[in-house]
Amino acid sequence: MPQRANYEREIIFSILDEGFICHLGLVTDGLPVVIATSYGRIGDHVFIHGSAASRVAKVAKGTPSARIDVCLTVTLLDGLVLARSAFNHSMNYRSVVLYGQASLVVDDEEKLESLRAVSDHIIKGRWDDVRPPTSQELKGTVVLKLPLTAASAKIRRGPPEDNEEDYALPIWAGVIPLDVRASVPIGDPQMDVSTAASVPDYVLNYRRP
C-alpha cells in the first residue's frame, strides 16, 4: 500500500541497523537467485560478504568493471495482526528495499574496514577481541559494496483494519507483538578452562539498537 512507503534516510538507516540478515537478489545464468546473508553499513553504503567461491563472486568477477545489478531487502517483523476477517489479517513490520549496482571491494584495507562493519553490525566490540583475518582468509572472502542511492522503506504499525460491518462481530482481534531477545550466553564446551577469558560485557548485556 502506497501510504506505507517512507523515503526518509534516517528511517531507512534505523531499519538496516536493527536487522540481522539481508536477502540479496541477482540474476545468474539467466535465472533469478536470492541469497540470505549478513551485512553491515558504513554511511551511505551497505557491505555484503561471502565466499570467493560463491555464486555472487562468480557473477561479479564475470562482469565488466565487476559490477552487478542487485536488489537487497531487510525485513523486521514486529507483530501478527489478527483481524475479524481472514481477508484483513496482516503483520506489523518494517522493511527496506535497495536497488543498484554492487561492486567488488578489491582494496585490502577497505575490505578489512567493511568486514569490521559487518562484525560490528552483528555484535559491536567483538572485532577488537578476536584474531583478525589472515591474508589467506581475506583472499577467500569477497565483499560487495552497494550504494544507498535507490532505497525505500515500508512500514505497517497499529491494530487491525476491519470492514466497518465486522467490528460488531464477537471475534477477538488485536496484535501479538514479536521481538528478538537475547538469552543467557552458552560458552563453547571445547574452551580450555586454563586459558578461558571472562564473558565480555557485550555478550552478557547484548542488545540490538
DSSP string, 78-141: EEEEE-SSGGG-EEEEEEEEEEEEEEE---HHHHHHHHHHHHHHHSTTHHHHSPPPPHHHHHTE
Residue 95's nearest CA partner among 40, 21, 145, 152 is 152
Instruction: Tell me which of 193 and 72 has the higher pLDDT.
Output: 72
Q: What integer best gives the mean pLDDT of the chain?
A: 89
pLDDT in tens, 104-149: 898 889 999 999 999 999 999 999 999 999 999 998 888 999 999 9
Query: How far apart are alpha carbons 190 and 140 in whole angstroms?
Result: 26
- Given a contact cutoff of 8 angstroms between Cβ atoms, the answer to whether 167 and 84 are in contact is yes
State residue 170 phi and psi, 5-degree precision: -80, 60
Residues 6+ apart with CB under 8 A from 54: 35, 142
What CATH code is assigned to 2-162+170-204?
Answer: 2.30.110.10
Q: How far is CA 163 from CA 23, 39, 77, 166, in A?
A: 34, 40, 24, 5
Q: What percentage of residues in the chain have a pLDDT greater than 70?
A: 90
Q: Which residues contact 49 (CB under 8 A, 6 or more apart)?
A: 37, 38, 39, 114, 115, 118, 141, 142, 143, 144
Per-residue pLDDT, 15: 97
Q: Give domain limits for the chain.
A: 2-162+170-204
Pairing outcome for strands 141-147 and 45-51: antiparallel
Kindly report the pTM of this predicted structure.
0.88
Q: How far apart are CA 109 and CA 60, in angstroms?
A: 20
For residues 176 and 170, what is the distance between their CA atoms, to the nearest angstrom? 19
Tens-place pLDDT, residues 140-176: 888 999 999 999 999 999 999 999 999 999 999 999 9
Indicate whether 177 pLDDT > 90. Answer: yes
Q: Indicate the helix (H) or strand (E) that contains 175.
A: strand 174-177
- Indicate the SS3 state at residue 154: strand
Residue burial 138-173, b: 16+ Cβ < 10 Å; e: rest:
beebbbbbbebeebebbbbeeebebeeeeeeeeeeb
Instruction: Look at 74-78, 125-129, 176-180, 204-208 and tell me which has the smallest mean pLDDT.
Output: 204-208
Q: What pLDDT is stored for residue 5 in this prediction?
A: 83
